[in-house]
Amino acid sequence: MTKLIAKQTHLYATRRLQAGDEYEAAEPDASLLVAVLMARYAPDKPSADELEHLRAEAEALGIRVDRRWGPVRLNYEIKMMRS
């Protein structure tokens, strides 16, 4: 299984994914989804420093951060607060 991040709203394996959602797909499906620009490969696991930086940035913007949030959710919340 390959980790992906949705670039656009689409369906995969009975799930309706929104842009920014992280999910796993079989390798052939993942290659196809990336090729048609519906998804991108998820980055490797972020370092603890990167997560702490994102959490600090979110808290500075007034976002109540859940410690379970990963980099995708943190970036999404930061983006939504700035827009």
Question: Which pTM does this prediction carry?
Answer: 0.53
pLDDT along the chain (83 residues), means of 10: 92 92 92 94 82 95 93 90 90
**Residue pair 26/56 in contact by the 8 Å Cβ criterion:** no
Q: Tell me, what's the pLDDT at 80?
A: 93
Q: Which two tokens stand for residue 83?
A: 């827009």
Burial class, 4, CB count within 10 angstroms (exposed 0-12 / middle 13-18 / buried 19+): buried
Q: Tell me, what's the pLDDT at 12?
A: 94
